[in-house]
Amino acid sequence: MHPASTSFKAALQRLLLHPRAQAFVVLMCALPGLYLVYGAFTESLGVNPAETLIRQTGDLTIRALCYVLLVSPLKDLLKMPALMRHRRTLGLAVLAYASLHLLCYAWLDMGLELEDITADVFKRPFIFVGMAGWVVLIALGATSFNAAIKALGPKRWKSLHQTVYALAALAVLHFYWMRSGKHRFDDVIFYGVILALLLLYRVVKALGQRLRSP
């Protein structure tokens, strides 16, 4: 390996292990959401701020999901285990933005009317799929801490967190159905391909580990 590359990796590893690195990752995850909140208060989100908030929080959710699934391949390819220290934070960012997305829909689109929201969930498939994805995220977020790993046991915890595959599929399907009304699929294809490649990497890696095991 080239000395410059080795030096860069060592410096990046030190940064990732820095005591303040976690706070920096949290800040970077929060900035897009804070920007949207600022835009809402300053009335700078365009002619339809409610739609902008719903769409943007949805985009941030699927983007954050891509970042979470990218951590493990990057760790393997760069041989940088320190990246894994920040995967939980990124995962919680997915849950935070998905919850904000749901809140914007329930509040700005449905006026927090529980009866109307319930009817809408069962009336429109893309809302149902989005809600199902949020429920999966709640389960993953609630069990992302060390105490939950200890309580469930490593094997059951790993099995539960493999539902991230289903979550990615639900996210793309929700996005597809939402865009289908306006026949705009560029973003759907973009995120779908990224998530498919990231999940394919995990499948190939798991199969390789199984074949190498005695």
pLDDT digits (tens, 9 = 90+) for 5-32: 677 777 878 888 888 999 999 999 999 9
pLDDT digits (tens, 9 = 90+) for 164-214: 888 888 999 998 888 877 777 888 889 989 988 988 888 888 787 777 766
DSSP one-letter string for the chain = --HHHHHHHHHHHHHHHSTTHHHHHHHHHHHHHHHHHHHHHTT-S-S-HHHHHHHHHHHHHHHHHHHHHHHHHHHHHHT-GGGGGGHHHHHHHHHHHHHHHHHHIIIIITTT-HHHHHHHHHH-HHHHHHHHHHHHHHHHHHT-SHHHHHHH-HHHHHHHHTTHHHHHHHHHHHHHHHHHTTT--HHHHHHHHHHHHHHHHHHHHHHHHHHH--
Residues 154-171, mean pLDDT to the nearest whole number: 86
Between 64 and 80, name the one with better pLDDT: 64
Q: What is the maximum span of the chain, computed from C-alpha positions, in angstroms? A: 63
Highest-scoring range by mean pLDDT, 124-133, 150-159, 198-207 = 124-133
Query: Beta-carbon neighbour count of residue 135 at 10 Å?
Result: 12
Domain ranges (residues) in the chain: 3-212
Mean of all residue pLDDT scores within the chain: 88
Span of 2-6, 11-15, 123-127 with lowest mean pLDDT: 2-6
pLDDT at 113 over 90: yes
Residues 61-88, mean pLDDT to the nearest whole number: 90
Percent share of the chain, pLDDT over 90: 47
